[in-house]
Structure formats: structure tokens, C-alpha cells
Amino acid sequence: MKPIRSKTVLIRRKFLDSWFISRAGMNLYRGCVHDCLYCDGRSETYRVEGDFDRDAVYKENAVDVLARELDPRRRRKPFNPGYVFIGGGVSDSWQPAEKELKLTRRVLELFKIFPYPLLLLTKSSLILRDIDLLTALNAECRVTVAVSLSTVDERLSAILEPVASPPAERLEVVRKAKEAGLGAGVMLLPVVPMITDRPELLDASYTAAGEAGADFVAAGPMTLKQGRQWNHFMAGIEEHFPEAAAAYGKVYGAVPDRWGNPSSSYYEYFGPLVHEIASRHGLPRRIPARLFPDNLSEAERAMVILDQMGGLCRERGLTSTFGWAARSLSRLDVPLESPEGWKNLRMLGGVGSATERIIKEILDTGCSRSYERLLVGGNLSG
């Protein structure tokens, strides 16, 4: 694996997202030898040059650059990232080269000096090498470990994710992280249409995650963008699952969307199915409020909860204005807990009397009973 030098490492976004509760993250590597068949890091959208799995590179100066970027004395404005997210995107931070390079480990060491909350996502059990360090960091600032799975079926996983750790090893990461006192869960991302989305396979993933002690299981279908990702994926499908190949044109190709989302009719299948299975297992379907990073303001906490509620309603085919209210809250430029913030709340888009009550409950108690019910597959009202 070749080294590169990078001027910046931290990627900052304007808005917190409610899946990863983060507005800052990083790719310490670019490209990934895990070679997952469905990986969307291959897409031209992310501008990774060369062969995605053969020409992966690492940012050899990442520790020095990040030390500057994280240092509060070098900032004019306060830096409030929610979780700093390490993982996903265009690389896995614990891919095999990390064993010798120890780049991710050296980056984690920096968080002893700058104790921001961390959310880590990987498909590799190599992260267990760092469990001592993560346990020490968790004593200073919240650390949550998530493993991503497409299925617990070892045979399918070996085709779809040939170099990643087997699913059982990834679930062992969840178990060990929980034993170490960390937050830990499963991102069932991506569920691959026609291959890992059969009810019995999804059910097996939820069962295994529950047995491992996962705090949450967040599931979503594969995105498939036209271009390199599509070509690579379809070549693999033609080789291993030729009987499924024709269906991808209908699910993704009929009206290709820039982000590669499946068609709305696929969501009509996927949403209720996941809802039914998740409800049966009673596992939170997003990172739950008790694992939110402590650095969120009250408005941000309310915003994330409402956005999660909007997403959960959408998946069940229910209409709601929660997502709209969340976006409005994210633009509120006075503290929500101030009299002016409260007065403005009534005028925000998407905030009717029911949503206002939910926001007030979040301000008073840090959470909402409607949210907690929805999160595990229940109804909005008790």
C-alpha cells in the first residue's frame, strides 16, 4: 500500500446526520482491500483514483495534520462535531495494512489529548487490537463501536465481502466492546436486494446481533450508483447470482437517481419487512438517545431525535413532519432553551402542537416517550 500526503484529514459537514450523529469524519485510507462487491466507495462520486481494492493508499501524515485540525487553540469558532466518525466512506480504517502501519491506532492516541466522542465503524475484527485504548478513551469521552454487516450468512458474506472478517468475528467485536463498557451496535448496511434481503436472512442477522448484546441494529438497503460501482457489482452478480441479475435494472436502473437509491416500490417491500422483524426483536433501529454524544446542544439533541423519528415513520409508510421540523431546528440560530428560541419554535416549519410537545419533553427529560416507542417498532402514542 502506497503512502500519500494530505493537506487536510477532517471532513466537516454543516449538518449533523441522524444515522451517525456526526458532522465530522475522516478517511485515513483511500480505497479498500476488503473488496466488497457492493462498495459504493468505488463510485466516481468519491474520486478515488486507480483500482479501488488494488491501489489503496494511506495518509502517512494524518496524525500531524489531525493534531492541528483538532487543536481548539487553532480555531476561531468552537468545534462541535457530535461524534467524530472514523470509518465508512471510501475505506475501512482497520483493513489488513493497518496491522503493520498502525495509522488508525496512532490517530486514536490523539483523542487522549483531544477527547471528542468517537463513533467507529468497521468490517474488521482487527479493531479488537485497540480495545484497551478505546476503553481508556471511553472513560474520558463516549466511544461507540459499530460493525457493518450485510448478512450473517457466512457463504454469502464470503462472496460479497471476500476479505472482510467473517460475520461471526464482527459480532465478536460487538460482544467484546460491550464487555469493555463501550456502546456497540450493528449497521446492517447494506442489505443487498435479491440476495441478503430475504426475511429469514434478515431475521438471522437481528437474532445474532441481539445475542451479541448490540445496543442497536440500523438497517438500510444498498445504494447502487451508475458507473464504476454498477459495473463492478453487476460483473460479480453475473458470475455468482446470474438468476438475480435482471432484477437490478428494475430496482435501480429504471429511473437512476444520483445517489443510487432503490426504487420506491423496493422501499415498499423493504420498509415494512424490516419494521416487522426489528419490532419482533425489540432492538433500537438507530443509535439510541442514551448513546448520543454529550457535546450535543439541546436543539441538536431534539433535531437528531426528530430526524430519526421522521426516517422511522417513512420506513413504515407513515407521513409525518418530523423530518421537516428537524431541518427547521437545525437552522435555528438562537439557543432553543432561551425565551427567544422557544418563541421562534412555534413559527418553525414542521412544528405543530404534537411536535412542540415532543420537543418540550426532550428539553425537560433529554428524550421522548413517543421516540422510544417508535425506535423499537412501537406506535407513536402509547
Which residues of the shown chain bind ligand SF4 in the complex (CB under 6 A)? 32, 34-36, 39, 41, 91-92, 123, 164
d(CA 159, CA 238): 12
CB of 34 to ligand SF4, least distance (A): 4
Comparing CB distances to ligand SF4, the nearer of 59 and 142 is: 59
Contacts of 104 (CB under 8 A, 6+ apart): 28, 86, 93, 94, 98, 130
- 3 state DSSP class of 39: coil
- How far apart CA 194 and CA 187 sit, in angstroms, is 19
Q: Output the smallest distance, CB 60 to ligand SF4, in A.
A: 19
Nearest distance in Å: CB 87, ligand SF4: 8
107 close to 62: Cβ distance less than 8 angstroms: yes
Report the distance separating Cα 360 and Cα 357, nearest Å: 5
Q: SS3 for 200?
A: helix
Identify the DSSP state of 252.
Answer: I
Taking the complex as a whole, the smallest distance from the CB of residue 232 to ligand SF4 amounts, in Å, to: 10
Please say which residue, 98 or 315, places its beta carbon nearer to ligand SF4. 98
Handedness of CA 310, 218, 304, 380 (dihedral sign): positive
CB-wise, 121 or 367, nearer to ligand SF4?
A: 121
Give me the least distance between CB of 32 and ligand SF4, in Å please. Answer: 3
Find the largest Cα–Cα distance for the chain. Answer: 62
Prior bond to 190 cis, omega within 30?
yes
Q: Which is nearer to ligand SF4, 231 or 265 (CB)?
A: 231
C-alpha cell at 68: 492541528
Closer to ligand SF4 by Cβ: residue 27 or 368? 27
CA separation for the pair 122, 129 (Å, rounded) = 13
Of 123 and 228, CB closest to ligand SF4: 123
Q: For residues 160 and 306, which CB has a smaller minimum distance to ligand SF4 in the complex?
A: 160
Q: How far is the CB of 134 from ligand SF4 (least distance, A)?
A: 19
DSSP class of residue 331 equals T
Q: Which is nearer to ligand SF4, 6 or 93 (CB)?
A: 93
Characterise 80 by phi-psi region: left (phi > 0), alpha (psi -120 to 50), beta (else): beta
Nearest-approach distance from CB 165 to ligand SF4, in angstroms: 10
Q: Residue 118 CA to chain centroid, in angstroms?
A: 12
DSSP state of 274: H
Nearest-approach distance from CB 39 to ligand SF4, in angstroms = 3
